Structure 1
Amino acid sequence: MKKLIVSMAVLLTFPLFHVASIEAEGYGWGYKKNSDHTLPYIGKYEEMLEKYGAYYADKSGEKNVYLTFDNGYEEGYTDDILDVLKKKEVPATFFVTGHYVESEPDLVKRMVDEGHIIGNHSYHHPDFSVISKESMKKELEDLEKAVAEVSEQDDLKYLRPPRGIFNEQTLDWSYELGYLHIFWSLAFIDWETSKQKGWEYAFNQIMDQIHPGAIILLHTVSSDNAQALERLITELHKQGYAFKSLDDLILEDKLPEAVYGYE
């Protein structure tokens, strides 16, 4: 596979998230943003995702949305986010790293105890496209063991690749290891903790891009997200959207056999 160099020129025409000026053996996940409340265009990625059962959205056309959060470190807002999710009875998936599990075991336990899903974001957050299959396996297994040690969830089946970098090989390897990639169809720059712009910014970014079937990527380090979340859920409910779990989206016949212990 040819190397991909993500540059500012690419960012201007095909927005990418988590990735800036990276040279790697893979692709940086991205899509063409729109504000017409329809699925964004993902180009050549569509065929690759279909081949390995990966998801970036719910294509059913139903007004379902899926909240997902990436957690690499804690800024003090996750409890607030969990409080809102509990109050509004909304499920979410939290993709955590080893550092997060080590530093915030009580929060990980709370996520699971309150019915949320823990997803695998790797132990050390490496670029999967430049490491071996064995190294990737160890990253995923170490994170799974860490989560099992602090919570009741001992089986992780959803994977979000670090920095959104992937290629056909990493999709294949993760599928063999029993994981499905979960990308996203709605996101914005929310992880820069020194550049928060207020809850209305987060609210408007999501409402401008919202569409039926959206998998929404947020970061719990954002004070904007924490303050906007309850308002966002209330407004989307008013517009007829239902908040679903990834388990509602993923059909069992699409899960890798390794998930069922048939390795």
Structure 2
Amino acid sequence: MRKIVLLSLIGAVLTGCSAPVSPPAETSVPETAVHTDAPVQSEQPKISLDGLSTKAVGWGFVRKKGSAPEVPLWQQETLARFGAYYLGDTSQKEIYLTFDEGYENGYTEKILDTLKEANVPAAFFVTGPYLEGERELIERMINEGHILGNHTLHHPNLAESGDETIREELDGLSEKCRALYGIDMKYVRPPEGAYSERSLAVTQSLGYTTVLWSHAYKDWDVNYQAGAENAVKQVTPYFHNGEILLLHAVSKDNAAALGDIISSAREQGYEFKSLDELKK
């Protein structure tokens, strides 16, 4: 089980919606990152925010075909410390499919159709405008067994936000979700993949689990869509055990390619799992 955050590396950076932020200046990053098992998390004591760094850290990595990315130990330890995930059980051929939903671009219905036909669970990380403005799609996600994840009310950089702002962004969205749909949000994906020690700790103290990702590609740019075949090539060679796959639902290519992506994964022996099945 890995609970890891990955350093932004020059040449092949992957982030959610924007470029990652630099790592803490005081941290020494080894030339060669080592991909090791992070410690299994135990019950967390009451969280103290005293002395925690507010230095922004970005989430990005160099992709590796057929295996999880390598990461510096200091990032592994930071994520594990605050109960966050980027990867599932690497001893199992399992994939956790997640989508970020900042706004609706007309493709989520097709994505849901494909998931239903293939009987695949997914998590949809939504923002405030999406939660309130796309009622029919949200209700369908819930009714078809998918997870609604918290992508904040207004999509701010949480690493640059104060404690109260983080609370307002996360709890504000969760309260709206409870009022509108009668369900609780358990998982948070920080916008842009940006975090600090303190933002992770505040998120955990509010009762949420941070979920990042172990594979993504530049799919969020609606002006750069290279076709379904390209989407398949960007995803399928990089399947790995315990993968948390991030796709953006605004992508026309993703919607068209999703069925082939699912079929390819299953042909390679992978099963699709819900985030609720992550080992805690």
| TM-score when normalising by structure 2 | 0.82
**What is the alpha-carbon root mean square deviation over aligned residues?**
1.6
Report what 1:229 is aligned to.
258
Q: Distance in 1 between matches of 2:177 and 2:212?
A: 21
Q: Distance in 1 between matches of 2:129 and 2:198?
A: 26
Return 5+ residue gaps in structure 2 as ranges. Answer: 1-7, 23-53
Q: Distance in 1 between matches of 2:181 and 2:252?
A: 26
Q: Identity over aligned residues, as a percent?
A: 43
After TM superposition, the runs of 4+ consecutive aligned structure 1 residues lying more than 4 A away are: 21-24
The reply to whether residue 59 of structure 1 matches residue 89 of structure 2 is yes
The reply to whether residue 190 of structure 1 matches residue 219 of structure 2 is yes
Return 5+ residue gaps in structure 1 as ranges. Answer: 1-9, 252-263
SS across alignment from 2:223: helix
Q: Work out whether residues 216 and 247 of structure 2, in 8 Å CA contact, stay in contact via their aligned partners in 1.
A: yes
Q: Work out whether residues 92 and 116 of structure 1, in 8 Å CA contact, stay in contact via their aligned partners in 2.
A: yes
Q: Distance in 2 between matches of 1:186 and 1:101?
A: 25
Report what 1:90 is aligned to.
120
Q: Work out whether residues 69 and 217 of structure 1, in 8 Å CA contact, stay in contact via their aligned partners in 2.
A: yes
SS across alignment from 1:233: helix
Q: Work out whether residues 108 and 150 of structure 1, in 8 Å CA contact, stay in contact via their aligned partners in 2.
A: no
Q: Aligned partner of 1:15: which letter?
A: V
| Mapping for residues 1-263 of structure 1, pairs under 5 Å | 11-13=9-11, 15-17=13-15, 18-20=17-19, 25-35=55-65, 37-43=66-72, 44-153=74-183, 155-251=184-280
Cα shift readout 1:52-82 (whole Å, capped 9, x = no counterpart): 1111011331000000000000010000000
Q: Aligned partner of 2:19: which letter?
A: A
* Higher share of residues assigned helix: 1
Q: Distance in 1 between matches of 2:234 and 2:58?
A: 21
Q: Distance in 1 between matches of 2:104 and 2:162?
A: 29
- Note the C-alpha offset of 1:238: 1.2
Q: Distance in 1 between matches of 2:222 and 2:12?
A: 24
Report what 1:260 is aligned to.
none
| TM-score when normalising by structure 1 | 0.87
Cα shift readout 1:9-37 (whole Å, capped 9, x = no counterpart): x65246241333768941111123111x1
SS across alignment from 1:149: helix
SS across alignment from 1:136: helix
Q: Distance in 1 between matches of 2:262 and 2:227?
A: 17
